[in-house]
Structure 1
């Protein structure tokens, strides 16, 4: 699928910001649609799902966090949050709800475009991985990069693009301890301003999802270093 076929839904109650992003995304060959509030965004997705949603957090009627919550209840559509203030609580909460990334206002349109393209690359990585990695099996965990699916003891779990990428990174080299910086580099490429706290939020999401099906030993924390894949044997809850 070429870049021209990718469609981005821009959701913001400020028409100036929407037009700024429409222009910036069009310059790199991405199609766009617009929504001025959360209700319009949900209606637009229901009518025809885009490839990614750029979603403002603070909007009237239905804020971005609630829109994200509802979209996550329906599936794993990639989401990039726009936060109107430099408030880590908002950003971390957004990530915990399942957003793939965030940008703080005021932002550079080039930064938003770079983040959008990074998420789209990860989404398209399933095609690139075809015939290369095959299914990664570690204990009761099975990851299929080609199908973009994760299973625990045969039960399929719904993961975001970022969650899947983190888990695949750990599972591909199960004996290695990855620092948070190393995980960030795998996700975005070096130099992106993503915090350790964001990685911790994604790992917390992964642990919660797998714990629900008995996978309490999915990921180990190595104090002062980072994370590595756990035994994936279905250990009892600590």
Structure 2
């Protein structure tokens, strides 16, 4: 049985979610950020439902802390209906976003979708990808990227974006296509989400090797993978 952690300071909200998930999932709860991080550190969870407005630590900070160590699917909840909040949440590592009030059936559907996607990622069996005479190595099974033999810590979405481009180096991806493939959330259509992730990937790789740019900008279209050993940033 999959194990889900609900992080919300409102008992009524936790109770509502628990009622709809009871019997299908093992549920644990935390009403504040410090307790949530302690539970996450001590045990294994298959998915986290995370409210943004919390005492001690807010949802943003909890999401960042989780992403430093773990690749657990995170579904963020909020009463704030602002696009910039959604984009920020996705940028720091959230996998999906649901506004309060929501229909419980939609919550259950999104949970199932996130768990299916997680299983697919864990069972990924593609071969190791190597570029530029071993300058960059991507290991899909462990979701590890090495540049000049040094591991780079990408967020889950940064890794997914880089890996997708690297597996199709002959293709040019539009920003809209990358949004659909990586984020899969139809109501987040701001292409700056893609641009900010590409910038972060380039910056982290530049720290290891200043001359290698793995993602080429195709002006007016989108991005493609640069398999060469070097390239102008």
TM-score (norm 1): 0.81
Shift of 1:231: 4.1
Shift of 1:121: 3.0
CA root-mean-square deviation: 2.6
Which residue of the partner structure matches residue 180 of structure 1?
175
Structure 2, unmatched stretches of 5+, are: none
Q: Which has the larger radius of gyration?
A: 2
Structure 1, unmatched stretches of 5+, are: none
**In structure 1, the residue corresponding to 2:102 is in which secondary structure?**
coil
Query: How many residues end up aligned between the 2 structures?
Result: 229
1:136 and 2:129 are equivalent in the alignment: yes
Which residue of the partner structure matches residue 194 of structure 1?
188
1: CA distance between counterparts of 2:228 and 2:70? 25
Q: Would the alpha carbon gap of residues 203 and 120 (structure 1) be closer, same or farther in structure 2, given more than 3 Å must change?
A: farther
Which residue of the partner structure matches residue 215 of structure 2?
219
Shift of 1:14: 1.7
Q: Would the alpha carbon gap of residues 235 and 134 (structure 1) be closer, same or farther in structure 2, given more than 3 Å must change?
A: same
The one-character-per-residue Cα deviations of 1:95-117 (angstroms, maximum 9, x if unpaired) are: 33222332222333333333333
1:229 and 2:222 are equivalent in the alignment: no
1:112-123 matches, cutoff 5 A? 112-123=107-118
The one-character-per-residue Cα deviations of 1:181-224 (angstroms, maximum 9, x if unpaired) are: 322332365x7333234333433333333233226512223233
2: CA distance between counterparts of 1:45 and 1:168? 27
2: CA distance between counterparts of 1:229 and 1:106? 40
TM-score (norm 2): 0.83
The one-character-per-residue Cα deviations of 1:145-183 (angstroms, maximum 9, x if unpaired) are: 222222222222233333322222111111211122322
Note if contact 1:218-1:229 (Cα within 8 Å) is conserved in structure 2.
yes
Which of 24, 28, 38 matches 2:20? 24
Q: Would the alpha carbon gap of residues 209 and 128 (structure 1) be closer, same or farther in structure 2, given more than 3 Å must change?
A: same
